[in-house]
Amino acid sequence: MSRNGPAALAFHALFIAFILAPIVIVVAVAFTPEGYLSLPTNGLSLRWFRAIADYPEFVRAFRDSLWLAALSSSIAVLFAVPAALAVARYRFAGREAVLAFFMSPLMIPHVVLGIAFLRFFTTIGLGGTFIGLVLSHIVIVMPFALRLVLAASVGMDRAIEHAAIALGASPFTMFRRVTLPLILPGVVSGWVLAFITSFDDVTMTVFIASPSTITLPVRMFLYIQDNIDPLVTSVSAAMIFLTAIVMVALDRLYGLDRLFVGAGR
């Protein structure tokens, strides 16, 4: 690969600055010692991080977001594994259609999904409930879970499963002792990506959340509509830190570029 010239590197530097600017500013403001929006030019302070404790609604929203993300990711993965195995292993009529169907939530704007779920859940009596929220999140995270589990299933040497069968393993034993351990990295990455997608979602969730079932991003969104103060920046900064940790872990486990680019072709 030939090197990049100075012009290219200058462009690149500007691009990176552009990408990092809003994130850096949020984190910077979060550390301000002042009582209003300002840069921490007079020194760093954790006051706004401590202040989060004074706002139980943020803490509760955070906890609810975690539960929601964990539940919907786990259930999505549970459904995705057999579906991925079906698509990876068998070439059956309708396979393309089935795959497209599972990937369809990616193509439907979250606004539309939010409205559709609002109408649906209200009609069947699940309006504003946690269950409704979980169901809707399962839908939007499923494509991510499926894509990664599928990539792992496809990448596995099928002959290994045949070897297990030839040695006398039942289908279930083969799955438990051979297939599952081998696709596990894909399953775990799929779960993590699903978790993050669920945790971060705001556009769809804002339609179906209710005062008793609010997620953290929605809580923040509603708060920002009225005023922007350092509190919301410290919450954001906390979220960014957590995401950064998960991101590094995910990169180590799987590779971020493989996650976004190479998976599920």
Partner 1 sequence: MPFLELQSLTKLYGDAVAVDGLSLVVEKGEFVSLLGPSGCGKTTTLQMIAGFLEPSAGTIRLGERDLTRIKPAARGLGIVFQSYALFPHMTAAENVAFGLEMRGVAKSEKAKRVAEALTLVGLAGLSDRYPRRMSGGQQQRVALARALVIRPDVLLLDEPLSNLDVKLREEMQVELRQIQRTVGTTTILVTHDQGEAMALSDRIVVMNRGRVEQVARPTDIYRAPASTFVANFLGKINVLPAIVTDGVVSIGASRWPAAGTTTNGAASVSIRPERIIFSESAGLAGTVKSRIFQGHHWLLHVATNAGLVAVIAPNDGRAIPDENAEVHLGWRADDMALANSERAS
Partner 2 sequence: MSTAEITGGGRTPWLLAAPALLLFAGIVVVPIVMTVLLSFHDWGQYKGIETVITLKNWREIGTDSYFFEIFLRTFRIAVLVTAISVLIGTPEAYILNRMASPWRGLFLVIVLGPLLISVVARTLGWALLFGSTGLINVALVRLGIIASPMQFLFSETGVVIGLVHVLVPFVVISVWASLQRLDPQIENAAVSLGASGFRVLRRIVLPQVMPGILSGAIVVFTLAASAFATPAIIGGRRLKVVSTLAYDEFLNTLNWPLGAAVAVLLLIGLAAIIVGSNRLVERRYAQVFR
Residues 223-262 that bind partner 1 (CB under 8 A): none
Binding partner at 98 among partner 1, partner 2, none, C-beta below 5 to 8 Å by kind: partner 2
What DSSP character marks residue 2? P
For residues 87 and 109, give the distance between their C-alpha atoms in angstroms, rounded to a whole number: 25
Shortest Å distance, C-beta 161 to partner 1:
8
From 22-30, 42-50, 52-60, 179-187, span contacting partner 2 (CB under 8 A): 22-30
Binding partner at 139 among partner 1, partner 2, none, C-beta below 5 to 8 Å by kind: partner 2
Residue among 44 and 112 whose Cβ is closer to partner 2: 112
For residues 106 and 124, give the distance between their C-alpha atoms in angstroms, rounded to a whole number: 25
- CB 36, CB 230: distance < 8 Å: yes
Shortest Å distance, C-beta 177 to partner 2:
18
Q: What are phi and psi of 202, to 5 degrees?
A: -125, -40
- Sign for the pseudo-dihedral over CA of 107, 112, 114, 120: negative
Under rule CB under 8 A, residue 34 binds partner 2 = no
Selected binder of partner 1 within 28, 51, 59, 182 (CB under 8 A): 182
Under rule CB under 8 A, residue 206 binds partner 2 = yes
For residues 145 and 80, give the distance between their C-alpha atoms in angstroms, rounded to a whole number: 7
From 51-59, 66-74, 87-95, 177-185, span contacting partner 2 (CB under 8 A): 87-95
For residues 98 and 123, give the distance between their C-alpha atoms in angstroms, rounded to a whole number: 28
Residues 140-179 that bind partner 1 (CB under 8 A): 157, 159-160, 162-170, 173, 177-178
- Neighbour tally for 50: CB within 10 Å: 10
User: In whole angstroms, what separates CA 148 from the centre of its chain?
Assistant: 13
Residues lying near partner 1 in the complex (CB under 8 A): 157, 159-160, 162-170, 173, 177-178, 181-182
